[in-house]
């Protein structure tokens, strides 16, 4: 089951130096977030599969060459210096895609905590998507994603599906810190991508 504490800890550990991000811990946090996404319903299966493929690539790159891929900054410098950004196996582009997804997850979770137990999560998911990932997707993908969100459960049922037997109140208490750490990581990665003119690649 999904653990807010595990995500919070991994994102905390991924904040290295003053402005860099440790890739292994970024991946660990995302692997936990995939557990959350996998409980959103069968229609989100393709999303989780895509995320897992991207996470797998980052893991593989770090394993093969930890010197150049251990942090986001090292990876981006290495790939931009060696014309690897558009190689088809780019860690920088993979990180860009994952970070766009992270922005959606952060905003969705931020909205979830303000709902009442029986409130539908559909609207906050659609709002979060429209404000983030939708601007990077084609009309067909946007239409499909928004349609799939119509089937999301109420807040109480969503927490039961994703958290299992974990105490909801205890989890909600940890959510603000987790969201804060995730937001700091997201901002650092975006700043690095922007500094090397990768952020706005389609």
Residue 37 · residue 44 · CB < 8 Å = yes
Task: Give the Cα separation of 28 and 9 in Å (integer).
Answer: 10
Tokens of 72: 């986001």
Structural contact between residues 5 and 58, judged by C-beta atoms closer than 8 angstroms: no
Q: Residues 143, 174: contact at Cβ < 8 Å?
A: no
| Averaged pLDDT, 24-34 | 96
pLDDT the model gives residue 93: 97
> Does residue 168 register a pLDDT over 90?
no
Render pLDDT for 171-181 as a digit per residue (tens, 0 to 9). 888 899 999 99
Q: For residues 58 and 23, is the Cβ–Cβ distance under 8 A?
A: yes
Q: What is the DSSP letter of 20?
A: E
Sign of CA dihedral 111, 180, 101, 11: negative
Distance CA 116, CA 49 (A): 30
Across the chain, what does the average pLDDT equal? Answer: 92
The rounded distance, in Å, linking the Cα atoms of 101 and 107 is 10
- Mean pLDDT over 86-111 rounds to 94
Note the pLDDT of residue 172: 81
Give the pLDDT confidence score for residue 43 in this predicted structure. Answer: 63
* Closest to 39 in 3D by CA, of 118, 119, 157, 126: 157
What DSSP character marks residue 71?
Answer: B
pLDDT score of 45: 73
Instruction: For residue 165, list its beta bridge partners.
Output: none
Band the pLDDT of 38: cuts 50, 70, 90.
Answer: confident
Q: What percent of the chain has pLDDT over 90?
A: 71
Q: Are 10 and 2 in contact (CB under 8 A)?
A: no
């Amino acid at each position: 089951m999904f653990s807010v504490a595990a995500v919070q800890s991994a994102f905390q550990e991924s904040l290295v130096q003053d402005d860099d991000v440790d890739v292994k811990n970024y991946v660990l946090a995302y692997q936990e977030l995939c557990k959350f996404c996998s409980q959103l319903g069968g229609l989100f299966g393709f999303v989780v599969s895509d995320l897992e493929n991207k996470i797998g690539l980052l893991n593989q790159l770090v394993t093969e060459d930890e010197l150049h891929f251990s942090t986001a900054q090292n990876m981006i410098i290495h790939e931009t210096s060696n014309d690897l950004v558009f190689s088809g196996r780019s860690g920088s582009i993979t990180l860009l895609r994952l970070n766009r997804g992270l922005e959606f997850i952060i905003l969705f979770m931020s909205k979830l905590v303000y709902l009442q137990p029986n409130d539908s999560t559909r609207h906050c998911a659609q709002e979060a998507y429209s404000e983030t990932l939708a601007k990077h997707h084609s009309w067909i993908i946007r239409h499909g994603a928004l349609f799939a969100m119509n089937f999301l459960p109420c807040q109480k049922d969503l927490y039961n599906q994703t958290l299992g037997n974990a105490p909801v109140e205890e989890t909600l208490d940890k959510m603000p810190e987790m969201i804060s750490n995730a937001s700091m990581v997201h901002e650092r990665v975006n700043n690095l991508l922007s500094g090397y003119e990768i952020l706005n690649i389609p």
